[in-house]
Structure 1
């Protein structure tokens, strides 16, 4: 499967070869492709498109439509490029190696290849008929327990698993700390100037300690029980189907998967997935459910008290995307003047959506951390 420089590389010939290589088109060929942008405004690391193939003399049951991830039209700031390359490669490997044994429902992968951050492709099952939620929404209270139980089952499956050392592509806590610490520290001044005073000025000393000692979040959480985490476990990365069916919840976007504390995922979801009043009403119940589900699925030696401390660390860790995003958004370069109007419009939509999303994520993260007295676990 040949990597791509952008979505324009998705041709009938290329898709025929990719599907054949993956065993999804044993006979016949793709004669035409229709490519449609999806998820505009949801991210600037990759571009997601829906590919609808027309087949000629096809054998088997090839996919009627496909979601493809390719390099984006956005020029990333230089300081973000190594991080972006790493997370793209991680997702390709996750679908190759980890997907088959993941206890949660995730999209089928039809093929993936990675050369570098400007040359890759990932082909996945199109589940566009399932329900979605915007990050600006609150996760419905009747869906939240399902999300948390599913998350705990995933974490229990890989809890202290030797597989995580066998897979060289899984970022270790040291690797995550090494690449993320300068990103977080580089975004703090803007975050402290623009976000903290508006949300809660009393968070300032906690935030200063957080970015200074960022590595402790990785070290402390992993020390009490490490697993394979999702890393971006928020409601825009879930799809919801009919209850009681295999598609009742599907988890997307595994770019930030890595080795670490599962409570980073839980803190991210609870801290950013609800309006503050709704979060206060349900958070204790969800943490208890998460811990109980871990124990039901074989995790031992992990006390509820330790779980609570790790959860508070997870709430603080959920600042990661807002901290790096506020700086990254300012440094984004628009498409060149001779780029298509479609690319210029997509860029405008991306920036507008990202500004609103980052502000919301930051506000929810700070409020959740303050409500849980999370600064206490940092000694503040």
Structure 2
């Protein structure tokens, strides 16, 4: 078989390639023809939907599949290589069956080449599920689905020592130091502030400046709570919402930033950017309690709601660094600019509403 994304243009994959794949993994079908179309809004990878016409097909033959491949943007390719995104996503699907397939699309084929840093994922197509909209935000029902998935993810490897065994997993004891240190991340804030100066309020700048200083004084090393497998980009654009009665009413995609990290990080990031500035304060505490209840139902013990809330306050800053960091490192687009600015403003409001700036005084 050829290796799409490594030595083949994915849009040029034909029936023979998929027939070979189906034979390898035990799907009984013969593809007669197919159509390929780029989909999605990804900035780190490119997604393609493959729709099949069969000469013959068993009951397990998929009507369509989705493939994920390297970005066509040189800036995004360089970022993915620097941060290990492509290898990490492939290894996530290969390593964590208690999560992959339960709250993700099932992966039929994974490939990664260390030398070229190119990769391929062929996954089940979740249509008619619809991608969440980071700009629009979501309602309470969608937020509950997302936080339920977060509880499944975090409980599966809660305080699991084996997470330290993987050198490709961010935050593990065997992982190399981050490609971008705290000083460099703080420097990205300076560049972001200059590029988007006319779009930032004094309140945004105050929070961003305080956080940038805290980063250089050890903000990232201060957390001492529970750890788990985390997504680290747990937001609406990386979620596909299906009918509530579907086998998978929600799936989470884009696992290139998966980590051994703080569960509250994903929760604060999602709530802070996923709900609008007007809606978040109305529902924030109820959503946190919902997540906590689901976490307990999944078997987690000895983690109080008060502990969760303190960790939530601390990690309300995390989305700020994602917003300004991604804006400065990936391909710049009009939608990307709007999305990153919207995220940053929402997280700055989250910090203020939860009095999180007070927590940084210990780093002064």
* Interval containing the TM-score (normalised by the shorter chain): 0.7 to 0.9
Alignment of 1:82-161 (within 5 A): 82-84=81-83, 86-102=84-100, 104-116=102-114, 118-161=117-160
TM superposition shift of 1:64: 1.2
Partner of 1:311: 312
Name the count of aligned residue pairs.
Answer: 353
In structure 2, the partner of 1:44 is: 43
Q: Distance in 1 between matches of 2:118 and 2:312?
A: 37
Q: Would the alpha carbon gap of residues 20 and 181 (structure 1) be closer, same or farther in structure 2, given more than 3 Å must change? A: farther
Q: After TM superposition, give the deviation of residue 281 of structure 1 in Å.
A: 0.5
Q: Distance in 2 between matches of 1:177 and 1:372?
A: 31
| Mapped partners of 1:103, 1:312: distance in 2 | 31
Aligned ranges 1:351-370 → 2 under 5 Å: 351-370=333-352
Under a length normalisation based on structure 1, what TM-score does the superposition of the two structures give?
0.83
Aligned to 2:259: 258
Shift of 1:258: 0.9
For structure 1, list consecutive stretches of 5 or more residues without a partner in the other structure.
Answer: 333-349
Residues of 2 paired with 1:8 and 1:204: CA distance? Answer: 41
Change over 3 Å in CA distance of 1:103–1:119 after alignment to 2:
closer
TM-score of the superposed pair, with normalisation by structure 2: 0.87
Aligned partner (choices 207, 211, 219) of residue 211 of structure 2: 207
Q: Work out the CA distance in 2 between the residues paired with 1:176 and 1:276.
A: 37
Classify 1:96/1:131 alpha carbon distance in 2 versus 1 (closer, same or farther; 3 Å): same
Structure 2 runs not aligned, ≥5 long: none
- Give the aligned partner of residue 22 of structure 2: 19
The residue matched to 1:318 in structure 2 has which SS?
Answer: helix
Distance 1:191-1:123 versus aligned 2 partners, 3 A rule: same
Quick one: structure 1 residues 306 and 168, their matched pair in 2 at CA, closer, same or farther if it must change by over 3 Å?
same
Distance 2:299 2:47 in 1: 37
For the 8 Å contact 1:184–1:320, the answer to whether it is kept is: yes
> What is the Cα deviation at residue 220 of structure 1?
3.7
Q: 1:320 to 1:12 in 2, by over 3 A?
A: farther
| CA contact 1:271–1:315 (8 Å) conserved in 2 | yes
Separation in 1, partners of 2:356, 2:176: 21
Tell me the equivalent position of 2:233. 232
How far apart in 1 are the matches of 2:257 and 2:77? 19
Contact 2:208 2:320 in 1 (8 A): no
